[in-house]
């Protein structure tokens, strides 16, 4: 790898250091790499990624140049929803490792100058959580049932659910238990919603935050941060009535209620008990920038994901509007912008950009939009990857923090051809969301070597089948190729450290509607060509391009960074 990088002549000139270990603002401009633990690296060869596997790949992430990793859930779980059904918030799934492994891994990341963020899932536990089991045993009217949302059914014998609500992955949102009562689950029936009016639920999550913070965890990603608090009247509204209610008023019975911020104010106090303060980032699919800003407030979680770029087409006008809006929002709230193209819930961006545009297909609270935009037969893989590289280079030059998802540094495409018998995602089995394919296609274990069982993921077969074309994108192959996506990310992330001082940019006239051009305060310029016709670059030293220049011009679907 060193050899490949030296050929570029770029790394040697870099002086900027990684972010400081004790800097309280480290998160503002951090590059955060999301690890989906069961699909990253498998140390013991049982087909499931584990913490020792992650430990063995710390060097990959150090060389990549990320500032932090965010680990999706690694807690004990029956995997009804990929680990977002948590049995025990203060433990490690024995198939993934032990708390000792966690400590060793965290230490290794810290030694490498990389922060560690863990995923907190507060809206629901799993149905195997000791509290839910106790609630089932204790029966109706018990103290144990108050920690969840139990109701009697309708109909003569309570045989009808309390309401006709639909769960997020399809099917009903109320499930009946043997004694006749029903419980609420926004997601699968294995994910009962907590009752956040219950003081013990609140206390227990504070304990969980301290548990991980005491182990050296630097921050928390908060799952569906906009749910949690509910206001359920005796007479429940129907699904149609719920759908017709304003979700952005702070008073919807289930979504984005204003009171949820009282919880995060309490969490903030816990974060601030530590030095540097622990950080939070909300996953909150809310309707407006103003609603999102509440989650990002300094008195709350501090930061919230913006999924605006993620749902946009590869389109200059859309990108420009989104960036301008988000930077303005960050300026007003005092938080920093966040940028995301890919994560474990969406079709990988190399694939999205190789499919017909979404053309403004309506985005609604999180699920429908994830559709890739068309069938695989319409996929132009080369164009998709080319655009993904251009978009990523555009994003990595922006002020704010960038969230990357494992495998995107290899330019991986979505794996579409997974047979039903191998699929795991509940959304595949329970409904027609995610274009009927579910989310397994971005969760396939990543390739480390071009051969060997499971392409170096582990010594055995991977828990989701990997396609033969993974060989071309394996880390060892890309490491040796100076033009690979991996080496593009490495160079970009190393250079990015020089950009991080000031959180602003200035738009410059590009002369074309399909070309964006901006300048950062250190004088660097960034040009992205969203169209097909090559475009001339401004005078200056070209630092990096996502595709080779043609006769000195920036070709279509490409980005260039210049010292102008």
Q: Which residues bind Ca ion (CB under 5 A)?
A: 42, 44, 46, 48, 50
Choices 4-12, 79-87, 96-104, 537-545 (CB under 6 A): range interacting with ligand NOJ = 79-87
Q: Which is nearer to Ca ion, 48 or 537 (CB)?
A: 48
Identify the helix (H) or strand (E) that includes residue 553: strand 553-554
Alpha carbon of residue 81 to chain centroid: 15
The site string for ligand NOJ over 134-153 (x = CB under 6 A, - otherwise) reads: --------------------
Q: What is the β-pairing status of strands 174-176 and 338-340?
A: unpaired
Binding-site partner at residue 50 among ligand NOJ, Ca ion, none, CB < 5 to 8 Å by type: Ca ion
Spatial distance between the Cα atoms of 449 and 455, rounded to a whole number of angstroms:
5
Spatial distance between the Cα atoms of 67 and 334, rounded to a whole number of angstroms:
21
Q: Does 102 bind ligand NOJ (CB under 6 A)?
A: no
Q: Does 295 bind ligand NOJ (CB under 6 A)?
A: no
Q: Kindly report the backbone phi and psi dihedral angles of residue 53, in degrees, each rounded to the nearest multiple of 5, phi listed first.
A: -60, -45
- Report long-range pairs for 516-524 (Cβ below 8 Å, ≥24 apart): 516/316, 516/319, 516/320, 516/394, 518/397, 519/564, 520/397, 520/399, 522/498, 523/563, 523/564, 524/397, 524/498, 524/499, 524/561, 524/562, 524/563, 524/564
**Cβ atoms of residues 67 and 115 within 8 Å:** yes
For 115, the token pair is 């922060």
Binding-site partner at residue 44 among ligand NOJ, Ca ion, none, CB < 5 to 8 Å by type: Ca ion
Closest approach, Cβ 164 to ligand NOJ, in A, equals 21
For 480, the token pair is 């040796």
CA atoms within 13 Å, Cβ hemisphere of 332: 11
Tell me which residue of 5, 2, 112, 1 sits closest to 54, measured CA to CA: 112
Q: Does 194 bind ligand NOJ (CB under 6 A)?
A: no
The site string for ligand NOJ over 273-292 (x = CB under 6 A, - otherwise) reads: ----------x---------
Identify the helix (H) or strand (E) that includes residue 543: strand 541-545
Choices 31-39, 63-71, 78-86, 551-559 (CB under 6 A): range interacting with ligand NOJ = 78-86
Q: Does 187 bind ligand NOJ (CB under 6 A)?
A: yes
Secondary structure class of 454 (helix, strand, coil): helix
Q: Which is nearer to Ca ion, 95 or 210 (CB)?
A: 95
Q: Kindly report the backbone phi and psi dihedral angles of residue 213, in degrees, each rounded to the nearest multiple of 5, phi listed first.
A: -65, -40
Closest approach, Cβ 407 to ligand NOJ, in A, equals 16
**Cβ atoms of residues 188 and 167 within 8 Å:** yes
Choices 6-14, 76-84, 195-203, 353-361 (CB under 6 A): range interacting with ligand NOJ = 76-84
Q: Which is nearer to Ca ion, 333 or 454 (CB)?
A: 454
Crossing angle (nearest 10°) for helices 381-396 and 485-496: 10
Q: Can you tell me which of 36, 70, 84, 448 binds ligand NOJ, judged by CB under 6 A?
A: 84
- Give the residue numbers annotated as catalytic, written as ranges: 223, 273
Closest approach, Cβ 31 to Ca ion, in A, equals 27
Q: Does 81 bind ligand NOJ (CB under 6 A)?
A: yes
Closest approach, Cβ 241 to ligand NOJ, in A, equals 24
Q: Which is nearer to Ca ion, 48 or 547 (CB)?
A: 48
Q: Can you tell me which of 42, 223, 308, 408 binds ligand NOJ, judged by CB under 6 A?
A: 223
CB-nearest residue to ligand NOJ? 84
For 382, the token pair is 């080369």
Q: Which is nearer to ligand NOJ, 208 or 484 (CB)?
A: 208
Binding-site partner at residue 42 among ligand NOJ, Ca ion, none, CB < 5 to 8 Å by type: Ca ion
Maximum distance among all alpha carbons in the chain? 79
Q: Does 345 bind ligand NOJ (CB under 6 A)?
A: yes
Closest approach, Cβ 221 to ligand NOJ, in A, equals 9
In 192-253, which ranges are continuous DSSP H helix? 199-214, 239-244
Q: What is the β-pairing status of strands 68-71 and 31-35?
A: parallel
Binding-site partner at residue 414 among Ca ion, ligand NOJ, none, CB < 5 to 8 Å by type: none
Choices 81-89, 300-308, 429-437, 462-470 (CB under 6 A): range interacting with ligand NOJ = 81-89
Q: Does 121 bind ligand NOJ (CB under 6 A)?
A: yes
Interface ranges with ligand NOJ (CB under 6 A): 81-82, 84, 121, 187, 223-224, 283, 344-345
């Amino acid at each position: 790898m060193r050899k490949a990088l030296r050929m570029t002549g770029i790394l040697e000139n870099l002086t900027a250091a990684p972010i400081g270990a004790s800097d309280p603002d480290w998160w503002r401009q951090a590059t955060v790499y999301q690890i989906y633990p069961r699909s990253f690296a498998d140390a013991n060869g049982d087909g499931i990624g584990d913490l020792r596997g992650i430990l063995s790949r710390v060097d990959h992430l150090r060389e990549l140049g990320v500032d932090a990793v965010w680990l999706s859930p690694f807690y004990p779980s029956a995997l009804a929803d990929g680990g977002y059904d948590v049995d025990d918030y203060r433990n490690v799934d024995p198939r993934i490792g032990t708390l000792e492994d966690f400590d060793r891994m965290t230490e290794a990341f810290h030694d490498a100058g990389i922060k560690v963020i863990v995923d907190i899932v507060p809206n629901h536990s799993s149905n195997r959580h000791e509290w839910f089991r106790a609630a089932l045993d204790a029966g109706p009217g018990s103290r144990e049932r108050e920690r969840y949302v139990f109701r009697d059914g309708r109909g003569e014998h309570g045989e009808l659910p309390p309401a006709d609500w639909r769960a997020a992955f399809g099917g009903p949102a109320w499930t009946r238990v043997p004694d006749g009562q029903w419980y609420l689950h926004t997601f699968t029936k294995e994910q009962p919603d907590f009752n956040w009016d219950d003081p013990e639920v609140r206390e227990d999550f504070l304990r969980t935050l301290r548990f991980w913070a005491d182990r050296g965890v630097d921050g928390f990603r908060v799952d569906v941060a906009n749910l949690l608090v509910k206001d359920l009247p005796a007479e429940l509204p129907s699904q149609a009535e719920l759908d017709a209610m304003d979700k952005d008023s702070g008073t919807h019975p289930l979504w984005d209620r204003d009171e949820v911020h009282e919880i995060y104010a309490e969490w903030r106090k816990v974060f601030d008990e530590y030095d540097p303060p622990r950080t939070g980032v909300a996953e909150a699919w809310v309707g407006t920038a103003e609603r999102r800003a509440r989650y990002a407030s300094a008195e709350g979680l501090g930061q919230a994901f913006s999924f605006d770029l993620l749902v946009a087409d590869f389109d200059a006008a859309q990108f420009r509007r989104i960036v301008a809006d988000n930077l303005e929002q960050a300026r007003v709230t005092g938080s920093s912008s966040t940028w995301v193209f890919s994560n474990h819930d969406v079709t990988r961006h190399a694939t999205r950009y190789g499919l017909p545009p979404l053309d403004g297909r309506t985005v609604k609270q999180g699920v429908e939009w994830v559709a890739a935009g068309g069938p695989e037969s319409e996929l132009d893989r080369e164009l998709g990857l080319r655009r993904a590289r251009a978009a990523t280079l555009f994003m990595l030059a922006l002020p704010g923090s960038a969230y990357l998802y494992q495998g995107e540094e290899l330019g991986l495409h979505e794996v579409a051809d997974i047979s039903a018998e191998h699929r795991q995602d509940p959304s595949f089995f329970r409904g027609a969301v995610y274009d009927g394919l579910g989310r397994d296609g971005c969760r396939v274990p990543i390739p480390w070597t071009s051969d060997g069982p499971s392409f170096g993921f582990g010594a055995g077969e991977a828990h989701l089948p990997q396609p033969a074309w993974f060989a071309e994108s394996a880390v060892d192959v890309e490491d040796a190729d100076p033009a690979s996506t991996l080496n593009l990310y490495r160079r970009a992330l190393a250079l990015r450290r020089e950009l991080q001082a000031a959180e602003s940019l200035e738009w410059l006239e590009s002369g074309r509607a399909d070309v964006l051009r901006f300048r950062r305060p250190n004088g660097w310029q960034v040009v992205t060509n969203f169209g097909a016709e090559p475009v001339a670059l401004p005078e200056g030293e070209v630092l990096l391009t996502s595709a080779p220049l043609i006769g000195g011009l920036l070709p279509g679907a490409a980005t260039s960074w210049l010292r102008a």
